[in-house]
């Protein structure tokens, strides 16, 4: 869903989302910042077991656990339209 400078797309698995927010342009700054977030809906556990698993993943591989956002063609077309529109401004 495009809302002015924001785009929010839900993952096909319905447990994640991609959120993009473009900073308002300032006259002296020709290159505004873009903020991209991956929202995780199923990993908000505050239990120590979950946290230890995250910590162990970093120790073992050097990388935190990563999730992916799966987008269907209609979502990719919406993302393309959003980026194109934002770059024109």
Q: Taking residues 67-89, what's their average pLDDT?
A: 84
pLDDT digits 0-9 by tens, 8-47: 888 887 777 888 888 876 666 667 788 888 877 665 556 7
CA 83 vs CA 8, 52, 68, 88: distances in Å? 12, 38, 20, 9
The residue behind tokens 């006259």 is 27
Per the CB < 8 A criterion, the answer to whether 19 and 34 are in contact is no
Cβ-in-10-Å burial (0-12, 13-18, 19+) of 40 comes to: middle
Output the pTM of the full model.
0.58
Break the chain into its structural domains and give their ranges.
Answer: 2-88
């Amino acid at each position: 869903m495009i809302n002015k400078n924001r785009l929010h797309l839900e993952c096909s698995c319905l447990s994640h989302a991609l959120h993009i927010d473009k900073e308002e342009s300032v006259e002296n700054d020709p290159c505004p910042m873009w903020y991209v977030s991956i929202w995780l809906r199923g990993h908000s556990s505050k239990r120590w077991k979950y946290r230890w698993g995250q910590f162990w993943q970093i120790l073992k591989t050097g990388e935190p656990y990563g999730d992916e956002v799966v987008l269907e063609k209609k979502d990719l077309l919406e993302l393309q339209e959003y980026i194109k529109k934002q770059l024109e401004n």
